[in-house]
Structure 1
Amino acid sequence: MKRRSFIKKSAAASAAFTIVPSFVLGGNHIAPSDTLYIGAVGVGGRGGGVVNELFETGKVKFVALCDVDDVRAANSYNAHPNAKKYRDFRKLYDNHIKDIDAVMVATPDHTHATIAIPFMKAGKHAYVEKPLTHNIYEARMMANVANEQGIVTQMGNQGASSDGIRIAQEWINGGVIGKVHRVDCWTNRPVWPQGFKHITEGHPIPETLDWDLWLGPAKMRPYNENYLPFKWRGFWDFGTGAMGDMGCHIMETPFKALGLGFPYEAEASCTTIWSGDFVEADYSEACPPSSVVRLKFNTEKHGDLSLNWYDGGIMPDLPEELADGEIPGGNGGGSIFHGSDGIMVTDTYSGNPRLLPSERMHHFLPPQPTLPRVTTSHQGEWVEAILSGNKKTSSPFSYGGPLTEAVLMGNLAIKAYQYKTFKEGKKAGDWDPYNYPGRKNILWDGANMKVTNWEEANRWVKRDYRAGWEL
């Protein structure tokens, strides 16, 4: 089926179907108030973990499982032998759109939106792994569709459901470190190869993999073992680099605690890889090995503030308040909040906060809790929100969409910095090392989703879609 026809069909389905599975109405199954019937797409790797975490709630039944890679999906297939198995998510849609309440999508970044949106338009609740989408346009679209359909959604940044992020937010709201003017975020990612020259060599496609379906909206190219598994994250056509991979985790705490929205300015600097005299990686295809990104926000409570991102082994300036041997953050990354009355550090996933210097914690009386805690898992919260009808989750697309947009704004700045290396008509060998970078900063009109000071950068707000896969 052509992608465009499929989208039209799914839109029509939204008017034709309710969220109650048709087979439930026959009286042979548990009522929807007790069980959530799910179709899952992308069930190997991280997707397999999400399948397990959903199943552990005890309130989920998988009607169908879908993955383009039979080997990667094997554990999920074996764990749920009664679920129907598919490679093509469109067949899952055609055969089970009446039978499911919700969809789970944990495929590579570049296919999140193309898979999730048809199900969402048919009124199905959605759980989609982070980052929510591959580009800013898709993130805005996902949030809009979720709002129009009134469905329950959750982005898979599990720290959003942690106690730690709520404690950090309570400390910020309580003025523990005063007015925040800067946040430094960092990660040890990438932990995959990143910074390749253009790949042209093709390898035999494994019989257990549908390469065409894996590519989805990305342009056709030969299969190469340097893409799979996991290593796709370092290629712009498929992944979103280190910032896209970890930004929705690490930036989650400052984004929520400080009430951030659209950044109004972004700039970046990146490392290069040299393989010979004036020959470097082709950054039209590959994300850089490491980068520093500076985002500027205007907030209601804290006014103008900067959020600085560091990856690939680059660290921010460490506060003098750190003791010898003391490490900020945790789990390979974290955030440092610089306020008018002190410094707070948080870790990568849970957002657990502490004050610097550490001695300040000895007699510290934290503010009284004011925010409700999540008493189940991140996945369990989504399940409960659907079954109970309260519809409240920690990272709905109305929130996860803007967070993803802010993260991906950093990637726009990275691409702007890299621009001289892949400008149309230029080859890597023609690059002028004395005329670098391509662009120092970009100004962003978030409401209108547009770069205002350099038209060329707007090409990266939305991707080029392969024929038949257009949104």
Structure 2
Amino acid sequence: MQSSEKPSQPSRRKFIQAGALAAGSFFIVPRHVLGGKGFIAPSDKLNLAAVGFGGKGSSDINNSFNNGANNVVALCDVDWGLPRVKENFTKHANAKRYKDFREMLDKEGKTIDAVTVSTADHTHAVVAMAAMQRGKHVYVQKPLTHNIHEARMLTEAARKYKVVTQMGNQGSSNPQQKTMVEWFDKGLIGKVHEIQIWTNRPVWPQGIPVPQPAGEPSADLDWDLWLGPAQKVGYTPAYHPFKWRGWWNFGAGALGDIGCHIMDIPFRVLGLGYPTEVESSISSVFLKDWTAEYNPEGCPPASHVELKFPASSKNKSDVKLVWSDGGIRPFRPDFLPVGEAYPEGGENGMFMIGDKGLIACGMYGDDPKLYTKDGKKQEAPAKPKPVDGKPWPENGHQILWTEACKAGFNSKEHKALTSSFDFAGPLTESVLMGNLAIRSYMLRTPKADGKGFDYPGRQRLLWDGKNMKITNFDEANQFVSRQYREGWKLSM
């Protein structure tokens, strides 16, 4: 999806800035004189486009719009019948409307500065790559990509095209995360050797038989565009608009939904790199006695994953990270006093367990608490109240991205972003390692005698992060990337 428009060409905004500097050789008129208090010059506004805004994307584009601090010039969604799509067409009545993001980028490429990408997981990479190749800054919902190879490619592409990037794990901009970093850096919990993470996801149908096609979609929905690079299947409302998360063709399951939120915290606090080992187990569904449903196309109803990380420069200990979904939470660790509540009532949360104590928090890093070996407890300060229109989590994460876009690729604003692709890419790779293990666990081959099956992927898998390769079970490497449908591919 290369474009003839070169990223190195001067942007509209730089051209305006250059003109302003030239004019300044003769006279300078303060902006407040021209436009009054609170006036934002047109040259200080980003021209934004959204790809996917019928769900979470609605808040992504509107938080970036920031009550008119920026312009929304183009809106793209494959389904114009969704309520939030209709609402945003009304709200941004002057924005050009598209169903195909490729057409939008080709026709509006000279106008657009930055793009929010909030589609289903399987199209994140192709949309973001097409935008970056045209020199557009991108904000991409979590998980950054559908698979590990795509995450590596987007990370490298952001550097190549020198664009400002942010992944939509808004908890990374939660100021309470800084408290956890400070606690650890002061040595209050010692060296961390274990991380326990849990979630109540999936909260959508999962572990069920493959849905059958259900007729034709409405005229509002372009089903072929919705499928994008995924393998072609018939339309069914069991996939769109939300339930796609539970199917490997489109989604990344519970890990894809929550992993980039909550695993972000130990990655940031401990400075973790690529894992070296991964192992999983999953629950099964029994629709008849003694016979478990075998459905390698769908995510399981619950899973348990263990990742191992080597010691980092910050944390001088190997770390075991244990992930549990499907509503299964870990047992109470020793440093958590009896009677103390689990984060979020036990639905979603994290424990970082060291040799001197532990840190506990909720899914977005909310309300961290520190428990030490000697029985002491600390709580993080409450989240600050909104200041200058930049509250957390309502819109701060997106606003910080838009301000960095205005400042540019090499700016301190971009370097200060909490989830640029330099951080979000490796984080996403590690999150999706869990899915690689789950899908390997589901592989089966008939036994030689024809009686039953062998499950060769039910083992500890060894990972070479630099080269993105499982070294002891080659069949698992099919899940590092994916087969792209004809007419779709990902390239830099």
Q: Structure 1 length as normaliser, TM-score?
A: 0.89
Aligned equivalents of 1:414, 1:365: Cα separation in 2: 36
Aligned equivalents of 1:19, 1:145: Cα separation in 2: 19
Alpha-carbon offset, residue 439 of structure 1: 2.0
- The letter of the residue matching 2:311 is T
- Whether 1:397 aligns to 2:421 is yes
Residues 92-151 of structure 1 show CA distances to partners (whole Å, capped at 9, x for unaligned) of 111101001111100000000111101101111110000000000000000000011111
Q: Which residue of 2 aligns with 1:176?
A: 188
Secondary structure at the residue paired with 2:442? helix
Secondary structure at the residue paired with 2:216? coil
Alpha-carbon offset, residue 198 of structure 1: 2.5
Q: In structure 2, which of residues 280, 301, 305 is the aligned counterpart of residue 268 of structure 1? A: 280
- Counting only pairs closer than 5 Å after superposition, residues 54-453 of structure 1 correspond to structure 2 as 54-56=64-66, 58-72=68-82, 73-277=85-289, 279-300=291-312, 301-330=315-344, 332-356=347-371, 360=375, 364=378, 377-389=396-408, 390=411, 391-392=414-415, 393-420=417-444, 423=445, 432=452, 435-436=454-455, 438-453=457-472
Aligned equivalents of 2:318, 2:476: Cα separation in 1: 24
Compared with structure 1, are the counterparts of its residues 470 and 93 closer, same or farther at alpha carbon in structure 2 (3 Å cutoff)?
A: same
Alpha-carbon offset, residue 283 of structure 1: 2.9
Aligned equivalents of 1:443, 1:19: Cα separation in 2: 45
Identical residues among aligned pairs (%): 46
Compared with structure 1, are the counterparts of its residues 359 and 281 closer, same or farther at alpha carbon in structure 2 (3 Å cutoff)?
A: same
Aligned equivalents of 2:72, 2:293: Cα separation in 1: 43
Aligned equivalents of 1:96, 1:306: Cα separation in 2: 47
Compared with structure 1, are the counterparts of its residues 295 and 351 closer, same or farther at alpha carbon in structure 2 (3 Å cutoff)?
A: farther
Aligned equivalents of 1:17, 1:284: Cα separation in 2: 47
Aligned equivalents of 1:442, 1:32: Cα separation in 2: 54
Alpha-carbon offset, residue 351 of structure 1: 4.5
Whether the 8 Å CA contact 2:267–2:427 is kept in 1: the answer is yes
Aligned equivalents of 1:281, 1:431: Cα separation in 2: 17
Residues 331-357 of structure 1 show CA distances to partners (whole Å, capped at 9, x for unaligned) of 831110110101211111134421237
- Whether 1:41 aligns to 2:51 is yes
Q: Which residue of 2 aligns with 1:51?
A: 61
Alpha-carbon offset, residue 329 of structure 1: 1.9
Compared with structure 1, are the counterparts of its residues 279 and 164 closer, same or farther at alpha carbon in structure 2 (3 Å cutoff)?
A: same
Alpha-carbon offset, residue 230 of structure 1: 1.1
Q: Which residue of 1 aligns with 2:11?
A: 19
Q: Which residue of 2 aligns with 1:370?
A: none
Compared with structure 1, are the counterparts of its residues 446 and 351 closer, same or farther at alpha carbon in structure 2 (3 Å cutoff)?
A: farther
Whether the 8 Å CA contact 1:21–1:100 is kept in 2: the answer is no
Alpha-carbon offset, residue 192 of structure 1: 0.3
Moved more, 348-357 or 169-178: 348-357
Alpha-carbon offset, residue 287 of structure 1: 0.2
Compared with structure 1, are the counterparts of its residues 366 and 80 closer, same or farther at alpha carbon in structure 2 (3 Å cutoff)?
A: closer
Please say which structure displays the higher CA radius of gyration.
2
Alpha-carbon offset, residue 16 of structure 1: 6.9
Alpha-carbon offset, residue 233 of structure 1: 0.3
Alpha-carbon offset, residue 71 of structure 1: 2.1
Whether the 8 Å CA contact 2:368–2:380 is kept in 1: the answer is no
Compared with structure 1, are the counterparts of its residues 282 and 115 closer, same or farther at alpha carbon in structure 2 (3 Å cutoff)?
A: farther
Compared with structure 1, are the counterparts of its residues 343 and 350 closer, same or farther at alpha carbon in structure 2 (3 Å cutoff)?
A: closer
Compared with structure 1, are the counterparts of its residues 172 and 312 closer, same or farther at alpha carbon in structure 2 (3 Å cutoff)?
A: same
- The letter of the residue matching 2:370 is L
Aligned equivalents of 2:321, 2:43: Cα separation in 1: 43
Compared with structure 1, are the counterparts of its residues 18 and 118 closer, same or farther at alpha carbon in structure 2 (3 Å cutoff)?
A: farther
Gap runs ≥5 in structure 1? 1-6, 368-372
Q: Which residue of 2 aligns with 1:4?
A: none
Moved more, 247-256 or 329-338: 329-338
Moved more, 210-219 or 196-205: 196-205
Aligned equivalents of 2:6, 2:418: Cα separation in 1: 25
Alpha-carbon offset, residue 275 of structure 1: 1.2
Aligned equivalents of 2:373, 2:193: Cα separation in 1: 21
Gap runs ≥5 in structure 2? 21-39, 382-386
Whether the 8 Å CA contact 2:370–2:379 is kept in 1: the answer is no
Secondary structure at the residue paired with 1:283? coil
Whether the 8 Å CA contact 1:110–1:239 is kept in 2: the answer is yes
Residues 334-386 of structure 1 show CA distances to partners (whole Å, capped at 9, x for unaligned) of 11011010121111113442123799556x5989xxxxx99650001101112
Residues 27-81 of structure 1 show CA distances to partners (whole Å, capped at 9, x for unaligned) of 9xx7665101111100111001112211226422111000011122112111111
Moved more, 199-208 or 245-254: 199-208
